Structure 1
Amino acid sequence: MRIGIIGAGHIGSTLARHFTRVGYDVAVSNSRGPRSLDGLVAELGPRAQALTPEEAARFGEVVVVSIPFGRWHELPSAELSRKVVIDTSNYLPERDGHERDLDQDTITSSQKIRAHTGGNVVKAFNALPWQDLRDGSRPKGAPDRLAVALSGSDEDGKAVVAGLVRDIGFDPVDAGNLGRGGRRHQPGTQVFGRKLPKDEMSEIFHAVRR
Structure 2
Amino acid sequence: MDYKIGIIGSGNIGRGLALHLSKTHYEVLLANTRGPESLEGLVSSIGGSLKAGELRETIQRSDIIFIAAPWISLENLAKEFVGYEGKIIVDATNNIVSVSPFRLADVNNKSTGEFVSALFPAQKVVKAFNTLAAATLAQPTQSTAGKTVIVISGNDTEAKNQVSIITEAMGFAPIDIGNFKEAGKLQDVGGALSGVELIKVK
Q: Structure 2 length normalisation: TM-score?
A: 0.86
The equivalent residue for 1:57 is 59
What displacement does 1:125 show?
A: 0.2
In structure 2, how many angstroms separate the alpha carbons of the residues matched to 1:196 and 1:97? Answer: 26
The AA in structure 1 aligned to 2:57 is: E
How far did 1:5 drift? 0.8
Shift of 1:184: 1.3
Q: Does 1:6 align with 2:46?
A: no
Give the % identical residues.
28
- Give unmatched runs, 5+ long, in structure 2: none
The structure 2 residue matched to 1:15, chosen from 4, 14, 17, is 17
1:77 positional shift? 2.3
Aligned to 1:41: 43
Distance in 2 (CA, whole Å) between partners of 1:133 and 1:98 is 21
Which residue in 2 is equivalent to 1:208? none
Aligned to 1:175: 177
Q: Which amino acid aligns with 1:191?
A: L
Is the counterpart of residue 88 in structure 1 residue 110 in structure 2? no
Report the CA distance between 1:112 and its aligned residue: 2.7
1:124 aligns with 2:125: no
Q: SS at 2:5's partner residue? A: strand
CA distance in structure 2 between the partners assigned to 1:191 and 1:112 by the alignment:
18
Match of 2:73 among 51, 71, 74: 71
User: Structure 1 residues 79, 171: closer, same or farther in 2, change over 3 A?
Assistant: farther
Aligned twin of 2:28: 26
Looking at secondary structure, tell me which structure has more strand per residue.
2
Q: Shift of residue 113 of structure 1?
A: 2.3
Note closer, same or farther for the CA distance 1:97–1:192 as it changes in structure 2 (3 Å cut).
closer
Equivalent residue for 2:149, pick from 142, 147, 150: 147
| Aligned-partner residue type, residue 165 of structure 1 | T
Q: For residue 197 of structure 1, what is the aligned residue in structure 2?
A: 199
The aligned counterpart of 1:112 is: 115
Q: CA shift at 1:138, angstroms?
A: 5.4
In structure 2, what is the Cα distance between the partners aligned to 1:98 and 1:144? 33
What TM-score, normalized by structure 1, do the two folds share? Answer: 0.83
- Equivalent residue in structure 2 for 1:185, among 163, 184, 187: 187
Deviation at 1:94, TM superposition (A): 3.5
Give 4+ residue runs of structure 1 displaced > 3 Å after superposition: 93-100
Give the 3-state SS of the residue equivalent to 1:148 in structure 2.
strand
* Counterpart secondary structure, 2:127: strand
The question of whether the paired residues in 2 share the 8 Å contact of 1:148 and 1:172 is answered with yes
Deviation track 1:155-197 (CA, whole Å, cap 9, x = no partner) reads 1000011111111111111121122221111110121111112
CA contact (8 A) 2:59 2:81 kept: no
More helix by share: 1
Superposition RMSD in Å: 2.2
The alignment partner of 1:157 has SS state of helix
Q: Could you tell me how far apart the structure 2 residues matched to 1:151 and 1:80 are?
A: 22
